[in-house]
Amino acid sequence: MNSKNADMQNINYVGGAGSTTAAQFLQRFIINKTPWAHLDIAGMAFSKYAGSLNSSGATGYGVRLLNKFVEDNYE
């Protein structure tokens, strides 16, 4: 995360653990011990094949789950 040229960098040059790098990057912006979570769902974001709930392309993976969670707990 530390950078010679900027306040921080958002890329991991040694490879692997991209979700961990992303979570550590985001954590630097959390203030006052605010509860938060990083969901690494981008790997499931696109599909070449149509499914029962979506056509080919963007899948919306995880969106219904998050919507249901917010609906059940915060509305």
Largest CA distance in the chain: 48
- Considering the domain architecture, whether residues 30 and 46 belong to the same structural domain is answered as no
Split at pLDDT 50, 70, 90, the class of 73 is: very high
pLDDT of residue 72 exceeding 90: yes
pLDDT over 90 (residue 1): no
Number of compact structural domains in the chain: 2
Domain that holds residue 21: 1-34
Q: Give the pLDDT score at 71.
A: 96
| 27 and 46 inside one domain | no
Q: Based on the domain organization, do 73 and 51 belong to the same domain?
A: yes
| pTM of model > 0.75 | no
Pair 52, 68 in one domain: yes
19, 37 Cβ separation under 8 angstroms? no
29 and 2 assigned to the same domain: yes
20 lies in the same domain as 47: no
Summarised one tens digit per residue, pLDDT across range 34-48 is 898 887 776 666 777
Best CA proximity match to 22, nearest among 36, 4, 6, 5: 36
Q: Which residues are registered as beta bridge partners of 46?
A: 58
Provide the percentage of residues in the chain whose pLDDT is more than 90: 9
